[in-house]
Chains A and B, each alone.
Chain A
Amino acid sequence: MRTMRARAPTEDHPLFRWGLSLLAILFIASFLILPLVTVFQEALGGGFDAAWAVIREPDTLSAIRLTLITAAIAVPLNAAFGIAASWAISKFDFPGKGFLVTLIDLPFSVSPVVSGLIYVLVFGLQGWFGETLREHGIRIIFALPGIILATIFVSFPFVARELIPLMNDQGRDDEEAAVSLGASGWSTFRLVTLPNIKWGLLYGVLLCNARAMGEFGAVSVVSGRIRGMTNTMPLHIEALYNDYQYVGAFAVASLLALLALVTLIVKSILEWRYADEIAAVHHH
């Protein structure tokens, strides 16, 4: 006798499935894909040469240079912090650990504009150290140091947040074994810990870099917005856009959009190909 094929209890009605899938795809298409496509479409609206010409302008090039320098300083510093903080948090017990972790999460709940504001309040002309700095001829706000500080603030949690749960999961056994065999702290870290955290570290650095290079609100506040000098790429995009140079603005924007896509692709590759390794390293 033949058995009737009904729907399994965990399956949805085909109409429901189609309807939901359609809704999901439409939403993603209109809210995520369209804006992305718009960037490239507007950039190449006047032909590739027009877009390329704007990128080669001196102001654009110096904006690119400033962005790269900022990232080159902020990201390694944040990585060092992330490693130090996660080592301290995962390998040791001390009171106030929860407070430390909350502090690290702080930039995520603060508006980017506020992130820039706080440095103006400390280092700006009317800031706490404003007078002292002016006397010594040191410019922080409206100059590179201010930009770097603001960028560090908004991007430092990424590495730490990636490493802390990872290292907590991995426990202390491996490191304690190494130390009991006579290894120094640095050797232990280099030979035992680092290989275990390498994927998490890479992941965190990737996200940190994306945020550092793309930050807009915080840098808006601390930068002098002087074209050719204190404009990062996002600020330069704004300047071009406000000047009605749409092709130019979108051309520079496409560079950052490409960076975003590369970040997403590398992130996905890391997740897909090394999922097993990452999972293995998580379960100790």
Chain B
Amino acid sequence: MRTKSPLCTIISEAAMSLIVDSIVKNFGEFGALKGVSFTAPQGAFVSLLGPSGSGKTTLLRVLGGLEFSDQGSVHFADLNWLAVPARARRAGFVFQHYALFRHMTVEKNVAFGLSVKPRRERPSRSEIRRRVEELLALVQLEGLGDRYPSQLSGGQRQRVALARALAIGPRMLLLDEPFGALDAKVRKELRGWLRLLHEKLGLTTVFVTHDQDEAFELADLVAIMNGGRIEQYGSPKDIRQSPRTSFVDEFVEVRSA
């Protein structure tokens, strides 16, 4: 069942928006995504919120090129997004368990995306180092370039992962429950920090979470997902005030303030 608010119809006319249209993804018999559509303006912070098994991570991975949809299309940045292979999309992906390269220092991790560019496009070594330092400063990890991931805390590792994703100058940022493996206090800190970062950089961001507070605090637009479909899509305020289905109603029930 597609949910398109009037807001989205107007926005989809703007260029550089993210247009997701009827994505279907099956794993054998299991329908992980049953026709998912939504639109977001460029620079928006979209959250995919739902219980486990709702398909939100699958949708994110389709956007990142790590899964292939069976049907449907995505348009972004004037591209037939799904036709572009993962490594050419420049969709920065941040994993729940960081996926940092354990055998590389922080600096090498962050520089990775730059160092694998084809020779013509690759910046010089000093340029790479400069950019890495810039990014480490941005994520407040200056001076930790020579450490190994195992020597960092969880919160620090996730910030390295973010810096690494930002290094390639991504067109969009995809985050898969990035704070899920961290304890509550660190989660809250990073939440505020991510919001500030987003306001500074203005990147189109899609953020998967099962934590309602997180989604509502961070996102401009929230998609409530359940069983492979979007139950409701809109601003946090809209969803709280006018839940469309009983599932949404129950899901956001506890916080009515």
Contacts and interface: CB of A to CB of B under 8 A. Distances in A.
A–B touching in complex (CB under 8 Å): yes
Interface of A: 1-9
B83 A3 contact: yes
24 contacts: A1-B21, A1-B72, A1-B73, A1-B80, A2-B71, A3-B68, A3-B69, A3-B70, A3-B71, A3-B72, A3-B82, A4-B82, A4-B83, A5-B68, A6-B68, A6-B85, A7-B85, A8-B66, A8-B67, A8-B68, A9-B65, A9-B66, A9-B86, A9-B87
Interface residues of B, number: 16
Contacts, number: 27
A181 to B, nearest CB: 37
Interface in B87-146: 87
A6 B83 CA distance: 8
Contacts of B65: 9
A3 B73 CA distance: 7
A110 to B, nearest CB: 33
Contacts of A5: 68
Contacts of B69: 3
A232 B2 CA distance: 78
A6 B87 CA distance: 11
Nearest to B85: A6
Given A3-B69, A8-B68, 14 more contacts: A1-B73, A2-B71, A3-B71, A3-B72, A3-B73, A3-B83, A4-B82, A4-B83, A5-B68, A6-B85, A7-B85, A8-B66, A9-B66, A9-B87
B93 to A, nearest CB: 10
A7 B83 CA distance: 12
A4 B86 CA distance: 12
B66 to A, nearest CB: 6
A6 B69 CA distance: 11
A8 B67 CA distance: 7
A1 B82 CA distance: 10
B234 to A, nearest CB: 26
Nearest to A7: B85
Specify which of A2, A3, A7, A8 lies most central, judged by the most chain B CB atoms within 10 Å of its CB: A3
A6 B21 CA distance: 19
Interface string B156-190: 00000000000000000000000000000000000
A4 B83 CA distance: 5
A5 B25 CA distance: 13
Contacts of B85: 6-7
Contacts of B67: 8
A6 B66 CA distance: 10
Contacts of A1: 21, 72-73, 80
Contacts of A9: 65-66, 86-87
Contacts of A7: 85
Interface string B209-247: 000000000000000000000000000000000000000
B57 to A, nearest CB: 15
A158 B27 CA distance: 43
A1 B86 CA distance: 19
